Amino acid sequence: MLINQYIDHTLLKPTATINDIKKHCQEAIKYHFYAVCVNECYVTLARNYLGESPVKVVATVGFPLGAMAAETKVIQAKNCILRGASEIDMVVNLGYIKSGLLDAVEKEIASIKKAIGNHVLKVIIETSYLTDEEKRLVTNLAIKAGADYIKTSTGFGTVPVTLDDIVLLKEVTTNKIKIKASGGIRDALTAKQFIQAGVHRLGTSSSIAIVTQKQ
């Protein structure tokens, strides 16, 4: 099992500098990670710095709260693709989910997917803030809206992702949509457990520690 090819090497802290992003990209190339995950302002830098390497650029949209207007998220997503992102990780509107505005949530996801075309869309549902029933509801909405992945967390939530979360999502997705686990994944054992549970991608800022630990 080549864990490195499951990893979106993630640097989303608000204080990340240009030099931090360059170093992050160097690490991704060295350790053969699948992608780097960065905020919108650094998409062009990351794409240019990665050059001809196979490492992809994942950009965040509506990050980390998900509470901006759907139209704003669409503009963000288009901009990230134009700047060189291959994939978009968007945060759903959690307040809308809690308010029962499910049609609006589905429409938002669908509009972003339409805007980015064949590029990969991952929908961040922030599992630590949702009930199990809400996790099921929003996952089904993402499937109906044409998203490619459900992603568990921004990494800024209150509780790390759990195996129970992955089991629940796996039951709902029934292989109609892929799963990205993120939020508190810091060691090789945890990463391996998530992969064995059916996760297709891992989002983590502890990527190097994970791939250099004895397994």
Instruction: Please list the active-site residues.
Output: 89, 151, 180
Tell me the β-bridge partners of 124: 91, 151
Reduce the DSSP state of residue 106 to 3 states and report it. helix
Type and span of the H or E element at 126: none
How far, in Å, CA of 84 to CA of 47, rounded?
6
Answer yes or no: are the C-beta atoms of 187 and 209 closer than 8 Å: yes
At 180, list the tokens. Answer: 């990205």
At 113, list the tokens. Answer: 């997917």
Dmax (CA) for the chain in angstroms is 46
CB-based contacts of 185: which residues, under 8 Å, 6+ apart?
160, 161, 191, 194, 202, 203, 204, 206, 210
For residue 96, CA distances in Å to 53, 92, 156, 167, 177 come to: 39, 8, 19, 25, 22
Answer yes or no: are the C-beta atoms of 36 and 46 closer than 8 Å: yes
